[in-house]
Chains A and B, each alone.
Chain A
Amino acid sequence: MSSGRGDKRHGRRGGSQHCKEIKCKQANLGTDVNESSPIIQQFLAYQKVLDAKHDKHERLVKLSRDVTIESKRTIFLLQRITGREDEKENILSEAEKKLSDIRMSKWKLVSAELQGEDPYQYIKAYYPGLQEYIEAVSFFHYLKFGKLISLEALQETMVFPCDCKQSQPSAAEVSKTNGESNQSKLEHGSSDVIGESSVDRPSALHSSLADQSDSADESAEEMSVHIPPMEYMLGIGDLTGELMRVAINSIGIGDIEKPFELCSFLRGIHDGFLLFGNINRYLSRKMYTLKQSLQKVENGCYTLQVRGSEIPKHMLADVLNSSESDRVLYHDVDGTSDAF
């Protein structure tokens, strides 16, 4: 009964927000909270439903914010790759660890929250984190494999075994997917060593496009965070900004092949975006930034092509530094020019 009294007090407090005149009249009418009334009973039930919904929303917003922060850190980490192979390996494995940490500590919680829910109901709560995470993972994937990660591969990383029945999901999956991704999923379930296994997974999935529908169909034993294709595309839009930075940096350190490679990759994405037309304002905004990034890289490539022939490679960086951006890493010029 204490809850009933608490609600009554709450109702009165709400009344003080109203203007005084109304409150007076209301007192005259005697329409104060009456717990026994069916209407009040009804609303007490609605109160619980609404509170539960709002609480869940808030929890998801918090998780999403954490994901955003960690993903941004991973992206910064990946930007520190300069060109030396051993250093690249170190950074990549560190980033991989970070990404799998995000998965296990954040997305798993999100997927638990979303279990049994319509994936679109709470998307507004966590899409910022999702986009940032997609950006980080696709960036990592590009640096490691030189390819665009597919939505299916991304979706695969977001499937978690349900804690309550841990032995069943892996058994169910054995029959479903092919060898490599199978093994990675098993590891995924039994231990935290997803770092190593997730390397193989995307490539394995690229080959089996027929399996893509499997990622969408959720079995009862596993939980997943659904990635709407729109969020994937917006994440890819963000990726291009990072790639632009990589391209400019690699010009700076005297790598004359990478900028061209990145330029054609960016052009491919740009052309793809062009086909979509005006779908929504988020996409058009990404398109605008993408255009600017592409132009920067194209200008860089132009300079490299035109002036590259007349300037010795070890001096190229200095020339481009003056014409390009200040994002160039000066201190790496000496270290890498030895390679040529």
Chain B
Amino acid sequence: MAQAQNVTEAFSSFQQYLNEEQDVREEIRVVVRDLEQKTREILAVLQGIHQPDGVKQLSEICKKARGCLVDIRQLFDSLKEKVPKDQYYRFHDHWRFCIQRLSFLAALIVYLETEALITQTETAETLGVAAQKEDGFHLELDDYLMGLLQMASELINLHWKPPSNNPSNRAFTDDVKFQSRLAVNAVTSGDYSRPIRIASFVGELDSGFRLLNLKNDSLRKKFDGLKYDLKKVEEVVYDVTIRGLRPDGVSADPASS
């Protein structure tokens, strides 16, 4: 039966393909699990900025976080070996969330250090991956942008946290009340200029995002949440300004400064 053999052949080679794919996926999963663990550690370190005196220790916190990034780069190196060449997108879903979170952390570190916006290339370098897909395992633009939006939420939460539940900070809902109190403390402890600078920065980020023609995907959804973050920080600025607490030298308008 040539016919039956023909069918069996096709199926057994497919079965083999499935088994091989399964093996690759399992190996990837192991590395990604470590990556996720390390990412959570960095996140925990950076949560220190929410502590009452956290803002004063920014440089130490950032240094510590950068130290953890070494492990991240090593893990990405081993992940690169597991992913077959030219098949990044076949397995992308495994690390998509993780690399978004890491872009967010990298962007946050850079902002806290220099108050500048990290570029895609810088993020890729920080994480130890390529910036362009032509160069192999890379940081996808969408994931980088997603990280920026996560950072925007985080920056604003640093200073002001709404008492009600807010979809954009789902990850941090556990300590909503604590952070909300912290925000008040941050402002009352005298750092009035920072919220204004953040408002300006996030405002510019928002303008930047509005230049993008987003599709109806998760990035778009996350971007739609940015306006609420912006509204929140502007309310803080309003509160500070109306009470005459706004420092004279600080302008929220980057164009006039």
Contacts and interface: CB of A to CB of B under 8 A. Distances in A.
B141 interface: yes
Nearest to A261: B3
A110 to B, nearest CB: 16
Interface in B19-75: none
A179 interface: no
A164 interface: no
B66 to A, nearest CB: 22
A116 B15 CA distance: 28
A228 B20 CA distance: 14
Most buried by B among A11, A32, A34, A50: A50
B164 interface: no
B12 to A, nearest CB: 8
Contacts of B171: none
Interface string A160-172: 0000000000000
B207 A269 contact: no
A279 B133 CA distance: 29
Contacts of B3: 146-148, 264-265, 268
Query: From DSSP, what is the main secondary structure of chain A's interface residues?
Result: helix
Contact of B117 (A22, A42, A228): A42
B211 A7 contact: yes
Interface string B187-220: 0000000000001100111111111111100000
Interface string A67-106: 0000000000000000000000000000000000000000
A43 B7 contact: no
Q: Could you say which of B14, B145, B200, B203 has the most chain A C-beta atoms within 10 Å of its C-beta?
A: B14
Contact of A19 (B87, B116, B141, B227): B227
Contact of A233 (B7, B14, B88, B117): B14
A265 B199 CA distance: 68
Nearest to A116: B134
A214 to B, nearest CB: 15
B255 A40 contact: no
Given A11-B210, A30-B252, A34-B207, A151 B117 contact: no
Interface in B125-153: 133-134, 141-142, 145
B170 interface: no
Contact of B238 (A25, A26, A46): A25
A263 to B, nearest CB: 12
A40 B208 contact: yes
Given A34-B207, A54-B213, A119 B234 contact: no
B214 A272 contact: no
Interface of A: 7, 10-11, 14-15, 18-19, 21-22, 25-26, 29-34, 37-40, 42-44, 46-47, 49-51, 53-54, 116, 118-121, 123, 146-148, 150-151, 206, 228-229, 232-233, 236, 264-265, 268-269, 272-273, 275-276, 279
B204 A272 contact: no
A29 B88 contact: no
Given A29-B252, A34-B204, A39-B204, 17 more contacts: A10-B211, A15-B210, A31-B204, A31-B252, A34-B254, A40-B207, A43-B209, A46-B212, A120-B92, A147-B3, A147-B6, A229-B18, A265-B3, A268-B3, A268-B4, A276-B15, A279-B18
Contacts of A40: 204, 207-208, 211
B230 interface: yes
Contacts of A120: 87-90, 92
Nearest to A236: B10
A21 B15 CA distance: 59
Contacts of A228: 90
B210 A272 contact: no
A29 B253 contact: yes
Contacts of B252: 29-31
B179 interface: no
B136 to A, nearest CB: 10
Given A229-B14, A276-B15, A51 B213 contact: yes
Contact of A47 (B87, B90, B142, B212): B212
Contacts of A273: 11
Given A25-B238, A268-B3, A47 B253 contact: no
B10 A31 contact: no
B86 A21 contact: no
List 8 tightest A-B contacts by C-beta distance, closest first: A31-B203, A272-B11, A43-B208, A30-B253, A14-B210, A268-B7, A120-B89, A120-B90
Contacts of A123: 89
6 contacts: A30-B252, A34-B254, A43-B207, A121-B89, A150-B9, A269-B7
B165 interface: no
